[in-house]
Every structure is written in structure tokens, then in C-alpha cells.
Structure 1
Amino acid sequence: MATSVSPAATSTERQMITLPIAEGLCCFRGLSPQRSRFELEYALERGSTANSFLFAAGPDPSGVRQAAVLVHPPGAAYASVFLPVLHQALPDPAAKLVVVVGHVNPNRVALLRDLACAYSGLELVASNAGAKLLRELWSLRRPPAPGDDTPQPPLPDLPEIHVIRQEQTLPVSHGHQLQVLPAPTPRWPGGLLAFEETLGLLMSDKLFSAHICTSAWAESNRSETEEERRHFYDCLMAPMASQVDALVERLEELDIRTVAPGHGPAIDTSWRSLFNDYRRWGESQQQASLSVALLFASAYGNTAAIADALAQGVSRTGVRVTSLNCEFTPADELVRTIQMADGLLIGSPTLGGHAPTPIVSALGTLLAEGDRSKPVGVFGSFGWSGEAIDLLETKLRDGGFRFAFDPIRIKFSPDAATVRTLEETGTRFGRSLRQEQRKQQRRGGGGLRESRSDPAVLALGRVVGSLCVLTTRKGSLSGAMVASWVSQASFTPPGITVAVAKDRAVEALLHKGDRFALNVLAEGRESGPMKQFLQPFEPGADRFEGLDLQLSPSEQPLLPEALAWMDAEVKQRMECGDHWLVYAEVLHGGLFDSEANTAVHHRRSGANY
């Protein structure tokens, strides 16, 4: 498929390419090779893309001329490369331009304002919830810094909004049939999908996306982008798995041939497999015996980013997260979710010194319906004040609720280190719920779980593993864990496998392409490293503080008291129940002590480490 590239772009800066799809239809793909945002969804650091689709102006089958239709415009971050390409395709500023807005956030609204300035005939197409958000955000600006009296330029008028309340077909040119479908979720209540019926092209926006920078129209096979799509799902879809599953079921009724998401390459040969993966990935969430209610509202997306990181951390422990956007959640659903939850997290931005009205209302419901014996957590973002977070904390403490962690207050948006701390905070929250559940089960069952006396489990415990400490550093982030489920996996190239529990903080730093060191411990000298790395760490704590470390060739931390070390690169990951099995190629290695023996871990049961 031919492409055209914006002439001023280089390989390290954003650029816009044009991918022709059919007569009168093309994809504008924004390429972002480098990570520029710190939200958890970008943590794999493989760049990103933003896909939008332009149906050219022209006659429909009956001969009536139809306006150009732009589906899923990018955010303002791509404005400098997107607007010139769009202007080339649609040079007349008086021409009518219809824009289908797949989801609404301040970043998208900023670009829509640019379009309103550039095209006098702009018309927006949005769902009912999306239209509400557009009206709220159109005149909303970040507050100026204290003392900054610089006048801001006037905003353009909000264009006419065509509200979509149910599935509807829009008139377009060149024989195309464009169906738009409302697809609300808690994270994107204004969600709107688009389906071109003659091509079977589903423009799915956030659904089925992956953050990966590629100019190829479609993936060559499912495994090529599976890790990126799974990471995107875990970060953003898992907390609303039931709603996402319902959407996938609806979409299977369409005559789909290609899925083109808002981020990443299209899927044209294996989209059914991806649909099945979405169902499979959500099963563990929906079948979990424990649940956390995550209540939030977000004006600029910063509070939602905090919520995403907390939810990801909780989900790692096998606890289901039910995410509710308070602005668009019916009262009965809010009450039901609060009453059924085993833990509660509530977050709010501060707008004009206050919490948004939907959060104040949700707080009242929580105070009236919440169980005081269940743990809570409060979080939020703010610009120049944080009154909303103070309100949540004060009311819940006065109401007799038990806090699982100190209130989280983040000015503007979280950076990479803060996102990591938030994720670990969520993991600790989920673990505490699991521990309480196990205590209750022991009290109810009168002793150890039956599985621990199962002969097969006892036999499994006789599998012996060497004691190691896995260490890793990636930019400003680092992590470590004691590892005993380690094995050589290949001769050529030399490779090893390490089993990593899903709720380990270090797991987030062990994706394809990441580096780590494996420090093999020496018999008789294992107690020091074991004590260091088996102790509980506070979220965000430096695991290596106070240690005298050496560095591997890829600058991974090495423990001099170890017997041997290996410097390895992750090549593959396989999901194995409550663990990830990481396969890595050994690139470098050496011995610290050629005389000592390897420390070995003996277990009595295969039910625990």
C-alpha cells in the first residue's frame, strides 16, 4: 500500500502518513516513534500511532453530493503534522466537514477547536454522552499559573453537533455506507464506533488498539502485536471487562473483514482471534472472587491516568476491578457496585476549588451505602489546589471508613516513577484483600487448605530450583525479586526461563526487549540477599538502596556476593495461570566465585514457594 509522508518529518519526530484504503477513503496515520507521555498504557515504550479516516467529498449512488467525513480525529499532540495533510486533502476553508468524534477528552477537543477555526462548515457527530462532554469541555481551559495574567485568545464557537442515540447510517460519497454505533464505557462514556459496510471496515477507536509505531497498514500475523495489544487491554480495558465483552458480542454481528483501531496497525486476517483473546483476557477479571469498586471523574484525563495505574496494580493480584465514571453512572448501578465491593477507591480532580458535582453525589452514596469494615483509598489530581481530595478524605474519615493508604495527591499528571508507585500501591491494596480472604477461609475451614495435602501438590514441591535474585533497571525505574523457578531453556542461543508471579512489581519491567540480570546465589551466603529482597517494600521504594552493586554490560545491577551472574534480554512471554513465564537470551555472564556451590531451594509442597 502506497504512503505519503509529511516532508518536514524525521525519524525521531512525529509525522503523518497517508494510507489509501479504497476510492474516496484513506487513513491518516500519525506516527510517534518516541514515548512522550507517562500513562501506564505507554509503558512498553514502543512509540504509538493515531489513526483517523477521511471519506472524500463527492456524489453518493443517487448523485447527491456529500460532504467530506473525518472519522476519529487525532489529539492536539498531532496537530502540527495532521492539519497540513488534512488541508491538502480539503483545501477549501468554506467546505463542509463532518467529524465523527470517537471519544471526547481535552486533547481531542483542542484539535477540534483548531478544525473549527480552519473550516467554517464544521459539523460534529457524537453520541449523547459525547455531546454532553463536548459542551462541557469546549470552553474549559487549564487554569493559568498564579500571577500569570497573560490574556488568552478567544475560543471559536462550538459547532453544530449531530447527536447519535442509536445505530445510524451517515450519507457518504463514492458508494460507501458509513454506520456509526454508540459504544459507551466507563473510561470513554462518549465512545462512538464507525463501520464501513461495503468494505467490512470497523474503525474501532480505542477498542483493539496497541501502542506501537509502525507505517504498515496491517499486522502480518497475530503474534506480531499480541504483547502490545494485551498490554493495552490490561491497562485500559480490564477494569471494565464486562462492558467491553458486551461490545465485542455486539460487534460480532457485523460483517467485519478488517478492524482498524485508533492506535496501531489494522487487523485483517485474524480479527476473530483477537475478539476471542479479548473474551479470554476478561474471563479472569469477571470470575474473580474479590472485587474493588473504582469510582472517579476526570476533567483533563489526569485523574483517569491515576485510576488506570491503581486498577492495573489491583488487577495483577487477581482481584476484579469495576470501574465507574461517576458522571455517567446510573444511581442504582452505583449503589449495587458499592454494596458488592470488597474494597473501594474514589478519585476526583479539583475544579475551581471544588470536587465535580457527580463526585460529591457519589461520595454521598458511598457514605450512605458503604460498609465501614471494607478498606478505602482516595486519590486525585489538581492544578493549584487540592480541595476535592481533602473533601473525600475528611468525609470518609469522619464517616468511620478505614483507609488502606494515605490519600494520593498528584499535581497535574503523574510521571513515569509516580505511575510505577501508583501501580505498586494498587497491588498492595489487592494483596491485602486476598490476605484477609485467606484468613477468613482458614477460620471457616479450620486449618490448611486441602490442596496442600494433595499428593500431586506434594510431589510438585519436590522440584528443586536454584536460588537467584533477578535485578533490572530501565531508565529511572528499577526492580528486583528472589527467583527460584529458573531453568536453562536452550543451548543455541543460550537461554533461560524465569517464572514471575503476576503481582510482582518487577513484572512490568520484563517485556520483550527488556534487559535484566540473574544473580545466582552461593550456598552458605544466600541469607543476606534473601533477607534484602524478601522484605516488604513500600510502593516506589528503591530496592537497591544502600547496596554495593556492580553493573553488567547492559548496566543491570549485579550483586558481588552472588556465585555467578547472567545478563539477559527478554525474547518471549507466556501466560501460565498466576505467573508469566519469561524466556530470555543470555548475552553476557560470569562467575564471582568459581569454588562455591549453587544455593538450592527445597520445598515441602508445590502450593507455595
Structure 2
Amino acid sequence: MNNAKPVISLPIEPGFLALRGLSPTQLRFGIEYRLGRGTTSNSFLFLPHNQSQTLLVHPPGYSFSEPYTKELNKILKLAGLNKNSIIYLVIGNVNPNRIMYLHELVDLWPNIILITSNPGAQLLTALWDKHRPNLGKVTDISSKTSVTLPKMEIVKTEEVRELSFGHRIRLIPTATPRWPEGLMVFEESTGLLMSGKFFASHICTEVFAETNRLSTEEDRRYFYDCLMAPMARQVNTIVERVEELDIRSIAPTHGPVISESWRSLLSDYRRWSETQERSKIKIGLLFASAYGNTAIIADALAQGISRTKVQVEILNCEFASSTQMLDVIHKSDALLIGSPTLGGHAPTPILTALGAILSEGNRDKPIGIFGSYGWSGEAIDLLQTKLTDGGFTFAFDPIRIKFSPTPAMIKTIEETGVALARRLQNAQNKQERLISAKFNDSKDSSAMLALGRVVGPLCILTVSKGEGVDQVNGAMVASWVSQASFNPPGFTVAVAKDRSVETLLHIGDRFVINILAKSREIALMKQFLQPFEPGINRFTGLNLEKTPKGQLLIPEALAWLESIVCQRMECNDHWVIYAQVEHGGLLDDQSTTAVHQRRSGANY
């Protein structure tokens, strides 16, 4: 059943308006939605004037179909259009959900013409009548409407079109491994860049533009880390092209328009991408994804890897050349390959990639297999058998997901990516993470020895997010904890970027600091300092209690503080979290706090 979501129209200039679909909850399982702030789906409509074209940029997916169709029909009819009118649709992102809605639009407006990139045309042709598995059921897209794929105009290189009311748009192909079909639209008179997935954030808001940079900064960084970091090289190339445009504001497909801070955001994208590219270690990630589920697994692996500052090169095999595949295979320190199962088989592009790995791959480098399937997963079995027979060593047990991964599965997959990256880092240089960039001579330098005398309490940070099957728990030993404010009462805690718990500590998230007691800390320290395999329950054997807000409390602790994340500050290899205390208690008023004494400031 289609759950209606409100759609509002926002005028930009005469003959030019935005249509924004509002969703206070996430649209699907995907790591980029995990902050839980809903999303928007932004499209842009140029109305006709004096025989000019009617053009709709970036229409939404089927999730918004009912209210969107109602609003669009009202606007088009007021503009004098009828069922026989020609309407141009710029398609910058192709997926089954969007194709389902295109079927509906074409049924209502038969003379639609699609404007898309060459990879976009390939995807539209391949997916137009495909069956789509969904949570154990099969949705036949073609049963929704019996329409044929409309005429397409393919944008191979940048081109300019004249529209109504003096508007002039530039169509800019922006192919990336994650979205080879990418197509940005720049309106020259307003300086508005309709950027598609680039510069997006998942926030549900009716306001047309951001209030200020701080209002969206965390959300845009999170979106970048989830989906852009694994293709940093291509992202940098596109940012360089965008910087050449006479921009006044940026309107992504998701989130508010960026009108005040777009210059700093472009600078941030460039800086984040350059940081990712500086890594000496590289993991190649090859995949194909028919319905988006295998892509979610790839995204989760890539995000886990990139949190360790290891470079990950992601490649969509459906649109990659043999030269690109071989380049990734030869230059990577580890390879990951993921495939859906379609009709009991792996798709042809994956078979091509598998052949290249078997003929050119280094058997001394680890390889990982992942994939999604609807019924039996033969593609994953094929990859495992061929690579085993080929003498490859596996980085982890094959990741097999039926249909879509749950939040708990996504967290486990991320931890798998982190674990692989850490192993490669340790093998290359065990001291790399221990040496301060400021003091290159020795970790035993006077300054580092002095820094080690900064002490903190020994604590266990525990966090729980979500409910039922969507619940995800996390924990870590924390010793870099310090009170930061009196009114309101608050403190800071430093969390390494490659900690899996870091993804559960964003603004608005709650957690508990369990402060340990001197002479009773050893057992709990052993519990949480031991290495955990991805997906293992860190709380096994503990009798946990619940705080007033439902967080996890360790009753053996000396004291506890239930807090809410208010700010995050990036500090090179750590995030410093500032949290305000909501509840707390002293569990033992006779003992004293266990303190962590260090010999050097170069390590924990």
C-alpha cells in the first residue's frame, strides 16, 4: 500500500518552482538514513511560456506518488497543459522505486520524453519491466501500468537548453561508480545548481533553504561519509567542475537548498576527499546491484573501511570498463566483490569481473564476497567456489543477505569493513596509528610522555538505538572523558573514528557513561577490551539494567550518567562528543573512581 506523504510547491522565480516531498521517517533501509531525521525528495519544474518546453528535473520515487501526482497535475492544468502535451523529464538517478513512478507518470501523460545520460538510458532500458523482490514478496513493476518505455534524449556531454521566462539550463553528466547515471542541472540566470545526490542530506524540512551552516553540517558530513567517501577521486573531479560554475545556491535531491554555505561545503567536499585519497592502503570494491540491496551492503562495507582512513575504490561493474577493473585489481591491497542473484545466476558484469580477478588477481592479497538474493543465492556460491579453487584467501566469511539488510546487519557489515582495514594497517605499519603527526621523532619524546600524564576515569560507554528488530546496541571502553560545563551539566568524551559505536553517537542520540570503581574495574575491562568479531554481542554474561530513557546501565559500575549528544567536533582521528546529562546516579558511595594511568600520550 502506498503511504501518502505531503508534497509542497515552493516558487523560485516566474515559471520556475520546486516540488518537495516530505517524509518524517526513512524511506528504506540504507546507511545514509540512519540519523533518523526523515528526508525530502526535491524536484524542479519549469513551466511553458510562448511555445517553450515544460521540463521537470529529478522526479521522485514511487513512495511520493499519490500526493506528488495530485500537486503536479494541479500545477500543469493551471498552466494550460493537457494529456497530449509534451513534458520533458530530466532523470538524474535511476532505481526500481523511481521507475515505478515513471510508469505512473507516463500513463497519465503519454507524451513524456526522458532526458538522461547514456548510463541512465541503459539502466532505464534494463529495469523498465523488471520484477522487483521486496521483503519476501515480488512486485511486478509492469503490472502497475501497461506502458512502454518513452522516447529518450541522451546527454553524452554537457549541453545547454533554452526554457521559459528566459531560463537557460546546462545539463552536466556526473558519472560516479555509485551513480553512473548522474546528471546535474544548472540554471544560469538564478545560479541554482540542481545537484542530484551530491551535497545532499536526509532532513525532513518544509523550509526551502538552510538556516545556516550549522543547521545542516552534521547531516551533510554524514551523507558524504556514507556514500561519497568510497569514490573520493571521482567526487573531487566533479567538485572541480562545479566550482567553475557561477553558482548562487545548490539544490540537492534531498534536504534544504544550500544558499549561505555552499562555498564552504564545496571546500569541505574537496578536503574530505583529499584526506581519503592520502591513504597508503587501498581496498577495491567491485559490485553490481539489480534492486539496490547489494549496493547497501557495499555502502556499509565501504563506510566501515573509510572510517579507518583506508582508501576504498568502489566500482560498479555494470558500467566499468575492463581497463578500470584491472586497474583496481592490480592496485588494491585487498578486493571485495558483491553480486545479486538473478534467476539463479550472477549477472554478466560480475562474471566478467570474476574472470579478471582469477586471471590477474594476487593470491597473497585477501578477498571478500558479499551479496543479496531473493531465494537461494547461487551467485554468492559461485564466487566462493571459483575463488576458493583459484587459491585465494578470504578476508571474511561470505556475507549473504536475503532481500534487504536490517540495521543490525548493516552495523555488523560495517564492523567487518573496519576489521579488514585494521588488519591491513597493522600488517603495513603497526606504529602508524600510535605516532602523533606533530611529534615525529619518537612516541617516548618528552612531550608525549608529558601528554600521557593527562588522566581520565575508566568508563564503559553503552548505547542503544532503535526498537525491536531495528534495535542496535554498542559499547566501548572510554577513558578520555571530562566534565565540560556546569549549567547545563555536561561532559565530553573522545571516540575514535573507527569505533563501530561512533555511528550511534550523533546529535540527538542518547547514551550512558558507566563510571567504574577502583579495584572492581578489571573484570569489566576484560569484558570490553577483548577483540570482538563483527556482529558479536558485547554484553554477553552481563545483567544489564535500563535507565529512564531505555539505555543500558551496568549495575556493577560506581556511577552512571545518561546523556544526550549535543555537539560533535572532528579532531583528526577522533570525534569529541559533547553531551548534556539528563539522568544519573551513584551506585556505590563508598568506593572511588578507577583512573587510567598512561606512560605516553601516543596511545591509550
- The TM-score, its normalising length taken from structure 2, stands at 0.94
Residue 324 of structure 1 corresponds to: 315
Residue 118 of structure 1 corresponds to: 108
Residue 83 of structure 2 corresponds to: 93
Q: For 1:470-481, list aligned pairs within 5 A.
A: 470-475=461-466, 476-481=471-476
Q: Does 1:76 align with 2:66?
A: no
Paired residue secondary structure (1:142): strand
2:226 to 231, 235, 260: 235
Alpha-carbon distance in 2 for matches of 1:601, 1:310: 33
Query: How many Å apart are 1:42 and its aligned residue?
Result: 0.2
Paired residue secondary structure (2:164): coil
Q: Which amino acid aligns with 1:325?
A: N
Gaps of 5+ in 2: 434-439
The count of corresponding residues between Structure 1 and Structure 2 is: 588
Identical positions, percent: 57
Q: Which amino acid aligns with 1:102?
A: G
Alpha-carbon distance in 2 for matches of 1:137, 1:455: 63
Query: Which string of whole-angstrom CA distances, capped at 9 and with x for unpartnered residues, describes residues 21-74 of structure 1?
Result: 100011000000012422100000000000000101222xxxxx1231000011
Residue 158 of structure 1 corresponds to: 149
Query: Which string of whole-angstrom CA distances, capped at 9 and with x for unpartnered residues, describes residues 550-571 of structure 1?
Result: 2221121111111111111100
Contact 1:13–1:32 under 8 Å retained in 2: no
Alpha-carbon distance in 2 for matches of 1:147, 1:467: 51
Paired residue secondary structure (1:95): coil
* Counterparts in 2 of 1:13 and 1:599: CA distance versus 1, 3 Å: farther
Query: Which string of whole-angstrom CA distances, capped at 9 and with x for unpartnered residues, describes residues 470-514 of structure 1?
Result: 111112111111100000111111110000011111111100000
Q: Which amino acid aligns with 1:603?
A: R
Residue 489 of structure 1 corresponds to: 484
Residue 539 of structure 1 corresponds to: 534
- The TM-score, its normalising length taken from structure 1, stands at 0.94
Q: Which amino acid aligns with 1:67?
A: Q
Residue 458 of structure 2 corresponds to: 467
Query: Which string of whole-angstrom CA distances, capped at 9 and with x for unpartnered residues, describes residues 123-173 of structure 1?
Result: 000011111111111121226979999994663111010000111112311
Residue 336 of structure 1 corresponds to: 327
Contact 1:74–1:111 under 8 Å retained in 2: yes
Q: Does 1:566 align with 2:561?
A: yes
Residue 14 of structure 2 corresponds to: 23
Q: For 1:589-600, list aligned pairs within 5 A.
A: 589-600=584-595
Question: Where do 4+ consecutive residues of structure 1 move more than 6 Å?
Answer: 144-151
Paired residue secondary structure (2:161): strand
Paired residue secondary structure (1:227): helix
* Counterparts in 2 of 1:552 and 1:174: CA distance versus 1, 3 Å: same
Paired residue secondary structure (1:403): coil
Alpha-carbon distance in 2 for matches of 1:151, 1:28: 26
Contact 1:38–1:419 under 8 Å retained in 2: no
1:202 to 193, 196, 221: 193
Alpha-carbon distance in 2 for matches of 1:120, 1:73: 16
Query: How many Å apart are 1:538 and its aligned residue?
Result: 2.2
Residue 598 of structure 2 corresponds to: 603
Residue 140 of structure 1 corresponds to: 130
Alpha-carbon distance in 2 for matches of 1:353, 1:328: 22
Deviates more, 1:131-140 or 1:223-232: 131-140
Alpha-carbon distance in 2 for matches of 1:89, 1:95: 14
Alpha-carbon distance in 1 for matches of 2:473, 2:546: 13
Alpha-carbon distance in 2 for matches of 1:416, 1:58: 48
Paired residue secondary structure (2:166): coil
Q: Does 1:411 align with 2:402?
A: yes
Residue 308 of structure 1 corresponds to: 299
Q: For 1:518-557, list aligned pairs within 5 A.
A: 518-557=513-552
Residue 128 of structure 1 corresponds to: 118
Query: Which string of whole-angstrom CA distances, capped at 9 and with x for unpartnered residues, describes residues 238-276 of structure 1?
Result: 000110111010011111001000000001122100000
Paired residue secondary structure (1:402): coil
Residue 6 of structure 1 corresponds to: none
* Counterparts in 2 of 1:478 and 1:397: CA distance versus 1, 3 Å: same
Query: Which string of whole-angstrom CA distances, capped at 9 and with x for unpartnered residues, describes residues 78-128 of structure 1?
Result: 112111111111232211110000111111111111111111110000011
Paired residue secondary structure (2:250): strand
Alpha-carbon distance in 2 for matches of 1:149, 1:112: 14
Contact 2:4–2:64 under 8 Å retained in 1: no
Query: How many Å apart are 1:544 and its aligned residue?
Result: 1.7
Contact 1:451–1:607 under 8 Å retained in 2: no
Residue 62 of structure 1 corresponds to: none
* Counterparts in 2 of 1:146 and 1:303: CA distance versus 1, 3 Å: closer
Deviates more, 1:151-160 or 1:348-357: 151-160
Residue 355 of structure 1 corresponds to: 346
* Counterparts in 2 of 1:244 and 1:554: CA distance versus 1, 3 Å: same
Query: How many Å apart are 1:451 and its aligned residue?
Result: 2.7
Paired residue secondary structure (1:90): helix
Contact 2:451–2:600 under 8 Å retained in 1: yes
Residue 428 of structure 2 corresponds to: 437
Alpha-carbon distance in 1 for matches of 2:35, 2:137: 36
Q: Which amino acid aligns with 2:289?
A: S
Q: Does 1:515 align with 2:518?
A: no
Query: How many Å apart are 1:541 and its aligned residue?
Result: 2.0
Query: How many Å apart are 1:441 and its aligned residue?
Result: 8.4
Alpha-carbon distance in 1 for matches of 2:556, 2:542: 11
Alpha-carbon distance in 2 for matches of 1:207, 1:315: 18
Deviates more, 1:536-545 or 1:476-485: 536-545
Q: Which amino acid aligns with 2:66?
A: S
* Counterparts in 2 of 1:82 and 1:581: CA distance versus 1, 3 Å: same
Alpha-carbon distance in 1 for matches of 2:64, 2:406: 21
Contact 2:130–2:140 under 8 Å retained in 1: no
1:40 to 28, 31, 39: 31
Contact 1:375–1:402 under 8 Å retained in 2: yes
Contact 2:103–2:144 under 8 Å retained in 1: no
Query: How many Å apart are 1:438 and its aligned residue?
Result: 2.4
1:371 to 331, 353, 362: 362
Query: Which string of whole-angstrom CA distances, capped at 9 and with x for unpartnered residues, describes residues 258-295 of structure 1?
Result: 10000000011221000001011112210011110000
1:276 to 252, 260, 267: 267
Residue 437 of structure 2 corresponds to: none
1:54 to 45, 51, 54: 45
Alpha-carbon distance in 2 for matches of 1:589, 1:143: 47
Contact 1:259–1:268 under 8 Å retained in 2: yes
Residue 587 of structure 1 corresponds to: 582
Alpha-carbon distance in 1 for matches of 2:473, 2:4: 27
Query: How many Å apart are 1:607 and its aligned residue?
Result: 1.4
